[in-house]
Amino acid sequence: MPILEKAFFTPGSDEWYWENVLMNEIKAENKDLPAMHINPQPDNQVYEFENLEELRAFDDRYKENSGNVALELIAKVFNISQSHIKGLRTLKAGMTNKSFLFEVDNQSYICRIPGKGTDVLIDRKHEYDSYMAVKDLHITERIIYFDRESGYKISKFYDGSRNADPENKEEMGRCMELLKSLHDKNIEVDHSFDIAERIEYYTKLCNESGGISFEDVSFVQKNMQILLGLLDQMKSHKCLCHIDSVADNFIITADDRIKLIDWEYAGMAEPIIDVAMCSIYSYYDKEKANVLLESYLQRKPTDLEYKKLYAYMALSGYLWSLWTVYKSNIGEEFGEYSLKMYRYAKDFFAEAMRD
């Protein structure tokens, strides 16, 4: 709504509710206010709606015509009226997207809503191709609907499931077994996850949106170039890799199966990058990262494999620190995550360069 958009950019409006905007417009006798429906309530009766489900319970009109793009999409996909969409529950927002749970005919599903700025970070056509490439392996969540343009995704929710615990050695061993099985199939797609290209691209996005605030970024950038040159000399085969192999993306279902979800960064890469990514996402130190690599390989790694792991941990840490800088520049904050990733870039550069 233009009136709300205008108010959003008005100095001093940070603490306003939408009612403040409405009252200001009424006082200003704005003739362009849209027609509104009034639902009279008794004096001193106040309702606070925490979510759309509570609003729908209060006002039946929202059951059929919520004005919500996601609900309109769900109704179209399932060929039902919006009143048949039940159990709306917001999930904790991820770092890239926002999602919510809903039910249709007593089955739970998740609707993913792409986050702010993801259109310049993620190619949804590539994500879709990755899902199709591994479809017959049955290791991903079941996809009900996927829009390759907008990034909206509807998938099955596995009741009774939970995320893998990065501090549980047995569970992470099973997760590594799944990754190794995926890599060993040598699946190919037509797109790559080129970490050098991604670093260059994210650096460009940061510079165009407000710059990079790390004081020693020029020094760290040079070190990352050294690591890229080192990896170029140690090239090995590439296959489809998940890239976003955070423990939270390994789902352990109620019947004890493991599903690997959210393939939006997936592409052709060296397999060890998935182990490196999992290590930094789990905030592992060197010893825990070594154990994870051993679990993945099912043997003691060579010195070259350790070196490659550390190099990818450093480069990945630098990449995701740039990712969070860009997100911060466009208005989204992720606390200390950026600094933690930047620390991986520094510390594991040193580890990778040891003789």
Closest CA to 101 of 85, 115, 114: 85
Q: Where are the domains of the chain?
A: 1-37, 52-156, 162-353
Mean pLDDT of the chain: 91
Looking at residues 49-69, what average pLDDT do you find?
69
Fold annotation for 162-353: Aminoglycoside 3'-phosphotransferase; Chain: A, domain 2 (3.90.1200)
Spatial distance between the Cα atoms of 343 and 309, rounded to a whole number of angstroms: 16
φ, ψ of residue 12 to 5 degrees: the values are 85, 5
Sequence length of the chain is 355
pLDDT band at 235 (very low <50, low <70, confident <90, very high): confident
Burial class for 54, CB neighbours closer than 10 Å (0-12, 13-18, 19+): middle
Q: Is the pLDDT of residue 296 over 70?
A: yes
Q: Is the pLDDT of residue 221 over 70?
A: yes
DSSP β-ladder status, 86-90 and 97-104: antiparallel
Q: Which pLDDT score, from 0 to 100, does residue 63 have?
A: 56
Q: Which pLDDT score, from 0 to 100, does residue 35 have?
A: 76
pLDDT band at 67 (very low <50, low <70, confident <90, very high): low
**How many CA within 13 A on the CB side of residue 202?**
25
pTM of the model: 0.84
Q: At the fourth CATH level, which superfamily is domain 52-156?
A: Phosphorylase Kinase; domain 1 (3.30.200.20)
150-177 tens-digit pLDDT = 999 999 999 999 999 999 999 999 999 9
